[in-house]
Amino acid sequence: MAITKEDILEAVAGLTVMELNDLVKAFEEKFGVSAAAVAVAGPASAAAAVEEKTEFDVVLNACGDQKVNVIKVVRAITGLGLKEAKDLVDGAPKTVKEGVAKAEAEDILKQLTDAGAKAEIK
């Protein structure tokens, strides 16, 4: 018969503080870890995993009614030629710029939406 987590918790709940302290020391020796190090590393590791995103992609979803204006803006943003910019706009949804800073991504998004396009930042 396997011991469940609940069985262990019931057994630990019945221990005195001194017995619990001895149990923790036995775990530390048996597994070569420190309970304090685990408690400190846990929240720090979680904070590092939720790191703020620094690079963004601007994606053109649709050109809207003012396709010519959108092509002009795409050309200005990307430096593409007329044909390449038109192909990008016609092929929407497409990524216009990749790996840009948040401020630049917001500026590009504003330019595209002002020209009549539907775009988003990812």
Q: 12 φ, ψ to 5°?
A: -65, -35
pLDDT at position 107 is 92
With a CB cutoff of 8 Å and minimum separation 6, the contacts of 105 are 56, 57, 58, 97, 121
Q: State both tokens at 109.
A: 């998004």
- The answer, as to whether pTM is greater than 0.75, is no
Run of H or E residues at 28: helix 17-31
The reported pLDDT for the residue numbered 50 is 53
pLDDT of amino acid 75: 92
Contact present, 53 and 96 (Cβ < 8 Å): no
Instruction: Pick out the chain residues at pLDDT < 50.
Output: none
Q: What is the pLDDT of residue 37?
A: 57
Query: What integer pLDDT is reported at residue 27 of this predicted model?
Result: 82
Closest by CA to 73, choosing from 109, 103, 112, 118, is 112
List of E strands, the chain: 56-62, 94-100, 118-121
What is the structure's pLDDT at 72? 92
